[in-house]
Amino acid sequence: MKTWIVTALRVGALMSVLVTGKAAAWAVLFDEELPPSAGDPREPSAAVTAKDDAKEQRPPPVQRERYLKAARAGDTEARFRLGNAYLEETGDLMEAVSWLDCAALVGHQGAREMLRDLGLALTPDSECRHPVEPAILAHDANADADQLYQTGNAHYFGNGVPQDHGIALEWMRAAAGHGHALAIHTLGIMYMNGEGVEPDAHTALTFTRRAAELGVTDALNNLAWMYEKGKGVTADQTVANRYYLDAARAGVGSSQARYGYILETGIGMEPDPRQAAYWYRLAAAQGVSEAQVRLGALYYEGTGVDEDLDEACFWFAVAAELGDQQGMNNKEIACAMLSAARRNEVEPRVRQWLTQYRGETQ
């Protein structure tokens, strides 16, 4: 009841604008001005007759048809434009204001200004009467799958719109309906983490496997983790190791670090610290601090590589600069074992590495 009363009051305010003859608001709605004298509001005036005649001559609802589907799917700009189209094409004030409200409530400046011009600025009780329906675009041949994904991504992270995993999920589903690989991958993550939906490891596994088949390398890493931890599938370290290796070969830094650790410690296979150092080095170059710490430890201990305190100090120092607490602790130990002259040789290398890394990742 409260919502209906507020809506009625706002419409009443709009009717007051029209009846009392505020020319600016009338011009916005109907592209015409009121006569100098409003006359008796109970009697049809010449202006009202002209308005009705003009409505009969309006062109087909081209703009409304153009924006309606995207507006129903939750596109803010389309909701603003649809509200404007209702004003221009039909003069349907209730419907126009309902769409403008939806756009204004998520911060659309044009919608807010138009509502203020109409004397209908948002109130604390304002709400959007049109729920988001991105599923209607899932099988629309004309829909832009990447745009659907980007909209979902914006809602997922709260970039430019309020963060809402439930809405993000619907957009990702719509994009996935067009085979968008990253949307399918994101759905796997959302189902695994229970973001916008109840956690469902089996469904997460289905989406993640499909994303991997479509070439999403991070999905290989997630598949490996699911097999290692038994999420949505019976735990199988051998299968997990195979997926970690596939992802590592594809250049996924976190997989390179994990596979290095598996090789170093012999999880599901014979230990091979020399190969572990190879994968740690690749991951360390990508800024994975855990790999930098492990690589530094191998150099410190002389395991899988020749003992080299300078290299140990270097990699611990790099990890420390990236905020790794273990790297900070190990740096204090390893670098203290070097002479001042050798430390002075390591420090410029650390700065050079960080400068190059940060330049590449900006």
Residue-wise pLDDT tens digits, 99-121: 999 889 888 999 999 999 888 88
Contact between 306 and 277 (Cβ < 8 Å): no
What's the Cα-to-Cα distance from 348 to each of 150, 269, 297, 318, rounded to whole Å?
41, 39, 21, 11
Q: Do residues 173 and 155 touch, judged by C-beta distance below 8 A?
A: no
Least confident of 64-78, 173-187, 255-269: 64-78
- Spatial CB neighbours of 278, under 8 Å, sequence gap ≥ 6: 260
pLDDT at 337: 97
CB 191 within 8 A of CB 211: no
Confidence of residue 50 (pLDDT cuts 50, 70, 90): very low
pLDDT at res. 122: 84
Does pLDDT of 182 surpass 70?
yes
pLDDT of 136 above 70: no
- Does residue 89 have a pLDDT over 90? no
pLDDT at 233: 96
DSSP calls for 166-212:
HHHHHHHHHHHTTT-HHHHHHHHHHHHHTSSS---HHHHHHHHHHHH
Burial class (CB in 10 A: 0-12, 13-18, 19+), 52: exposed
Residue pLDDT, tens place only, 199-254: 999 999 999 999 999 999 999 999 999 999 999 999 999 999 999 999 999 999 99
Q: Mean pLDDT throughout 326-340?
A: 97
185 by Cβ neighbours in 10 Å (0-12 / 13-18 / 19+) ranks as buried
Contact 183, 143 (CB under 8 A): no
Report which residue type is found at 197. V
Residue-level pLDDT at 48:
39
Residue 30 has pLDDT above 70, yes or no: no
**Nearest CA among 102, 110, 97 for reference residue 71:** 102
Separation between Cα atoms, residue 62 and residue 64, nearest integer Å: 6
- Would you say the pTM of this structure is higher than 0.75? no
Give the per-residue pLDDT at 197: 94
Q: What number of other Cβ atoms are within 10 A of residue 116's Cβ?
A: 12
Q: What proportion of the chain, given as a percentage, has pLDDT over 90?
A: 61
Distance separating alpha carbons of residues 153 and 167, to the nearest angstrom? 10
Residue count of the chain, please give it.
362
pLDDT-derived band at 305 (thresholds 50, 70, 90) equals: very high
Q: Find how far residue 182's CA is from the centre of its chain.
A: 11
* pLDDT value at 179 more than 50: yes
Residue 13 has pLDDT above 70, yes or no: no
* Interatomic CA distance for residues 289 and 54, integer angstroms: 69
Place of tokens 């019976």: 234
**Percentage of the chain with pLDDT > 70?**
80
Whole-angstrom distance, CA of residue 359 vs CA of residue 362: 6
The pLDDT of residue 102 is 87
pLDDT at 349 over 90: yes
Mean pLDDT computed over every residue of the chain: 83
Confidence of residue 138 (pLDDT cuts 50, 70, 90): low
φ and ψ at residue 153, rounded to 5 degrees: -65, -40
Q: At what angle do helices 309-321 and 289-301 cross, to 10 degrees?
A: 160
Helix %, strand %, coil % for the chain, to 5? 70, 0, 30
Q: Given this model, what pLDDT does residue 5 score? A: 31
Phi, psi of 119 (to 5 degrees): 75, 25
Whether the CB-CB separation of 226 and 233 falls below 8 Å is answered with: yes
Residue with tokens 């991958």: 185
Return the pLDDT at 3: 37
